[in-house]
Amino acid sequence: MSESLRTVDIIAAKRDSKPLSNAQISTFIKGYADGSIPDYQAAAWCMATFLNGMSPEETGYLTRAMIDSGEVIDLSGVKGPFVDKHSTGGVGDKISLILAPVAAACGVRVPMMSGRALGHTGGTLDKLDSIPGYTTALTPAKFRDGVGGVGFAMTGQSEKVVPADRKMYALRDVIATVESIPLITASILSKKFAEGSDALVMDVKCGKGAFMKTPADARALAESLVRTGESLDRRVIAVLTDMSEPLGRMVGNFLEVEESIACLRGEGPPDVMEVTYRLTAWMLIAAGISKDVNEAEERCRKAVADGSAMEKFRSNVEYQGGILGDLDAMYAKARAKFSREIKAESAGFVSEIDAFAVGMAGVALGVGRDTAADPVEALAGIELLKKTGESVVTGDILMRVWAEDEAKLEAGVQRLDGSVSVGCNAPAERGSLILEEIAPE
């Protein structure tokens, strides 16, 4: 008996934990994308998938169906290899702004389709939009030429690329199925491979400031991403990184652009540079430029030291309409109108900084969003003057906080209450932020 392609039968099969075929999944996704399958049936299917999961084969079918629901960026005529990086989201996560020019300086072509802030996590596009004149809405031709000419380009998701994912993501957000690993996997990989990438390096974050709170959950997602990539004949490498406290010392849109520039000048915080160099090293390996992590990381350090990575960054800013003179004039000077200092009430050592609390304070200040329609403030944010393990005396400034109006400033400061813990004894030295690396065999 042949399999049924009726929508209700496809839902019932997943409800009963039966495997779905490629034809069933592609038919369902095509119908949802073109509107012939309504939200209520898609919601039922998403919940059945959330509860019963998917095999690696099914997740691969779903990813391919998502890609096929819209246009695929055509990078023909541009010499590869094309490798991108994607983060599952964190606080102070400005890695893409540093990684892309470093990778490009080392010979990797980076077609990067990025997202905006939502919830406590920041968004690459919002950071880039804080650069005067910079546009993140590129036509496919402009995007392709940037990848070919500069070595990388940064753009938002076009409405014509992976429309099924955009529609399903919005639905999942309101039916409590965002955490489904197969649905997360297909959502990420469909967007990344529709942009033209040959390979992908995933930064799967875990800890208080991440969506995946435990290493076990992060590992499950990482393994799903790697396996699904294999089923699509694409190389996916997953790196699990610690997001228990904010990355770097700046949290905010322009503040993180500033810190990224400092990193490209060789003046970046060690935690940011550790993650940047390791992720970029895997990009070089995926591109066939390097054979091992140590040699690849050395190439990355050289690109920062000799200024070639900074030159790629400035070339990209100029290519995408940014005004370099204005950017230089704003550096270390442009701040929001209202500010407050948060000071230590006792002496000792910083034992913890709650990344989630800092991220939610950023939302209150205007750095991020509660909903996709919320505006963001370019100059709002938080500077962390003390990090875990550093000593403090009573009255030391722990944080500087900026906002464009007093009400937002007050709300942000309240969110930060208790976010920094100070103890009498120095905490154990923080280990590497690189927790695990998973690559296809």
* Catalytic residue annotation: 86, 165, 172, 187, 191
Say which residue the tokens 């996709």 belong to.
Answer: 372
Rg, the chain, Cα only: 22
- Six-digit token pair at 283? 């990009």
DSSP 300: H
- Dihedral sign of CA atoms 288, 290, 291, 293 in order: negative
DSSP 85: E
Q: Which of 201, 221, 246 is nearest to 96 (CA)?
A: 201
Distances (CA, A) of 22 to 45, 273, 395, 436: 15, 42, 63, 32
| Rounded CA separation 433/424 (Å) | 24
| Rounded CA separation 237/282 (Å) | 7
| Rounded CA separation 265/199 (Å) | 28
Q: How many residues does the chain have?
A: 441
CB 282 within 8 A of CB 293: yes
- Cβ–Cβ contacts within 10 Å for residue 93, how many? 30
Q: Give me the residues paired with residue 155 across strands.
A: 113
| Rounded CA separation 225/205 (Å) | 13
